[in-house]
Amino acid sequence: MVFTKLPSGVRDILPRECRALAKIREHLARKFTAYGFEPVESATLEYFDTYSRIRNAVPEERMFKLSDKDGKLLVLRPDATLSISRIAATKLEVPKARLSYFTQKFDLQEAGGISSREILQAGVECLGEEGAFADAQTIAFAIECLKETGLKDFVVEVGHVGYFKGILEECGLSEKDVETVRAHVNAKDGLSAQRVLERAGVSHDALNAVLALPALFGGAEIFGRAEHLTSSRSARAAIARLREIHGLLARMGYEKYVCYDLGTVRRLGYYSGVIFAGLVREMGAPVMSGGRYDGLADDFGKHVPAVGFAMGLKRILIALERQGNLPEELPPDAVIACEEGAEDVGCRAAAEMTAAGKRAILLSEYGAAALTGCEAKEKFLATKEGLKKL
């Protein structure tokens, strides 16, 4: 039986989309280089244990698994940032590095729509960099990269996992309950979060603070409200860091692109500080996400503070199409047809044009009639006497 359909969560990318993706990659690659980021490529195949036996383990059900010839279990790269963290801890000798990448990660659980099992990403990692300025600089660069893709009317939501951690640190919750509450808060499901907290017997103040998280969204005015909800030192330290980041972004001219959201709480073990995501109206999921993950390289034997972000290139492509901003499809500069016996004339003409940086198509059909219906800036017929412009 011949299978013509693809598995769920993957799709072919046809020429028009490939051209658009190539243009986006070209623009981003120039941007990465201009800002001092060095390219890196992590291996597509890694050992299962690399991701299953670390503190920030990837859930087994999310990994594509296969066996090596010696029977050891391998996986397709499930997380680009963890791969870079492994490289930083085991192979980089310098204390600081700025790395960029274009890569794919593979997620067995994603099933289609705007989600995908085969996720094409572009991203950067600032390794060995700490402090509010490094955070603000990375957010500013993420904004510049989103602009570079051609996206319009996007916003970058900024939060901090330390605020949520601080609120819950004195509640005595188990790790399982903390993760359950985090998931409910992230899904804006206050009722379910309340049930878990009440069952755990947390204080009235802590309960109110957690339930107020979804409303802590907007501009810098939310910082004061957030501070009044808790006396936790670490939660207030998180707000202080956000104030500092906001001041830096405002002075750098990026304030109009940013809002703040303390009700979006991502994986607490993975992220250690600021988190952020790029959103556009046309999509129901972020087109970019990032944050500070100072503890990821620790899993591989070395402490390397880090902040970075990844952009979902297929999601950006969808958003551009819905915004009507896909890169323009330009016709070739020239199309050349040949008369029989003048193939050498046509080949030389095409070679000269492409050497000059033009896009030239040499047709395989003979005669001027072959040019009918062809779109090009110029059309030529190669004859034994030479090249004729039509």
Indicate the domain borders of the chain. 15-169+236-323, 334-389
Instruction: Please report where in the chains the tokens 């036996």 appear, as a residue.
Output: 53
Mean pLDDT, rounded, for 3-15? 85
Indicate whether 111 pLDDT > 60: no
Mean pLDDT, rounded, for 93-115? 85
In the beta sheet, which residues pair with residue 75?
46, 65
In the beta sheet, which residues pair with residue 336?
362, 380
Q: Give the long-range contacts of residues 368-376, CB within 8 A, separation 24 or more.
A: 368/337, 370/337, 371/335, 371/337, 374/335, 375/331, 375/332, 376/331, 376/332, 376/333, 376/334, 376/335
Give residue 114's pLDDT band: very low, low, confident or very high (50, 70, 90).
Answer: low
Mean pLDDT, rounded, for 62-87? 95
Indicate whether 165 pLDDT > 90: no
Share of the chain above pLDDT 70, in %: 97
Question: Would the pTM of this model clear 0.85, i.e. be above it?
Answer: yes
What is the model's pLDDT at position 210?
Answer: 82
Give residue 113's pLDDT band: very low, low, confident or very high (50, 70, 90).
Answer: low
pLDDT digits (tens, 9 = 90+) for 127-148: 999 999 999 999 999 999 999 9
How far is Cα 63 from Cα 77, in angstroms, rounded to an integer?
8
| 8: its two tokens | 């769920």
Give residue 330's pLDDT band: very low, low, confident or very high (50, 70, 90).
Answer: confident
Reduce the DSSP state of residue 344 to 3 states and report it: helix
Give residue 260's pLDDT band: very low, low, confident or very high (50, 70, 90).
Answer: very high
What is the average pLDDT value for the chain, to the nearest integer?
91
CATH class for the region spanning 15-169+236-323: alpha beta
- Type and span of the H or E element at 381: strand 378-383
**DSSP output for 102-155:** EEEEE-TT--STT--SEEEEEEEEEET--SHHHHHHHHHHHHHHHHHTT--SEE
pLDDT digits (tens, 9 = 90+) for 315-324: 999 999 999 8
Give residue 1's pLDDT band: very low, low, confident or very high (50, 70, 90).
Answer: low
Mean pLDDT, rounded, for 278-288? 92
Task: List the single range of 56-65, 263-272, 308-317, 376-385 with lowest mean pLDDT.
Answer: 263-272
How far is Cα 306 from Cα 56, in angstroms, rounded to an integer?
15
